[in-house]
Amino acid sequence: MRAAGAELLTAAQKAGRVRTDLEINALLNLANAVALAIEHRPHQSTLAMSVLTNGIRPD
């Protein structure tokens, strides 16, 4: 999963869709943190994913 994610992340970075300073380990850690944070608050999932995806976009 990490290797496939790294390939997708690199492609998104080359396309200018994702920050170039983001590494796969950090992205997976962020996604895991969001999943844990909303585990018992599913009503907050849309907001949490929006914050995550907006935060990884380039400036």
What's the domain range around 39? 2-55
What predicted TM-score, i.e. pTM, was given to this entire model?
0.84
Q: Retrieve residue 15's tokens.
A: 């396309």
pLDDT of residue 25: 98
Structural domain total, the chain: 1
Kindly tell me the burial class for residue 31, based on how many C-beta atoms sit within 10 Å of its own C-beta (0-12, 13-18, 19 or more). middle
Q: Could you identify the residue written with the tokens 């997976």?
A: 28
pLDDT of residue 24: 98
Task: Find the mean pLDDT for residues 10-35.
Answer: 97
